[in-house]
Amino acid sequence: MTLAFPIAAASATIDRTPGVGPTSGLGLLGTADDGTMLPEINEDGRYVVFHSAADNLVADDTNETSDIFLHDTVDGTTTRISLGLDRAEADGASEFARISADGTLVAYQSLATNLVPDDSNFLRDIFVQDVGTGSTARASVGP
């Protein structure tokens, strides 16, 4: 299923197959090994979204820049939201995440150019991801 955003947007879908993306706990090795900043909690308190340059929150985080993470306080998993096409690591910093009241959408700012097809402006853009489907759209694009 691909999410259709009600705006003109480039979009991509990321596989969120259980066991592929999320990892248990806040960090693979315990406490995050770099700063975690600007947390926001959804309305019922289940989900916390934040950005961090830590490389031990999920497996295979080697892009050496800040990423967007979603922590599920009920099942204890932390998922990296700011993944590019074909689950590639974002090629630029991602920051300033916001989460919808029901926890289904995460919006964030990123310098990455590989989150959706044809992002070639080399500027900070705003992206919105449907957490359930993994579909990501660039919101800061004109008609």
Of 29 and 24, the structure prediction assigns the larger pLDDT to: 29
Q: Are the C-beta atoms of 81 and 106 separated by less than 8 Å? A: yes
Question: How far is the C-alpha of 78 from the C-alpha of 73, rounded, in Å?
Answer: 9
User: Is the pLDDT score of 120 beyond 80?
Assistant: yes
Token pair of 39 as six digits: 């947390």
Question: How far is the C-alpha of 72 from the C-alpha of 130, rounded, in Å?
Answer: 15
Answering whether pTM is above 0.75, one says yes
User: Is the pLDDT score of 135 beyond 70?
Assistant: yes
Question: How far is the C-alpha of 58 from the C-alpha of 56, rounded, in Å?
Answer: 6
Taking residues 122-138, what's their average pLDDT?
94
Question: In the chain, where do the E strands start and end?
Answer: 11-13, 23-24, 36-41, 47-52, 67-72, 77-80, 94-99, 105-110, 125-130, 135-138
Taking residues 40-52, what's their average pLDDT?
96
pLDDT given for residue 102 in this prediction: 97
Q: Provide the Cα torsion 107, 50, 90, 117; round to 10°.
A: -10
Work out the burial of residue 82: count CB atoms within 10 Å of its CB; fewer than 13 is exposed, 13-18 middle, 19 or more buried.
buried
pLDDT given for residue 75 in this prediction: 93
User: Is the pLDDT score of 5 beyond 60?
Assistant: no
| Overall residue count recorded for the chain in this entry | 143
pLDDT given for residue 91 in this prediction: 95
pLDDT given for residue 27 in this prediction: 55
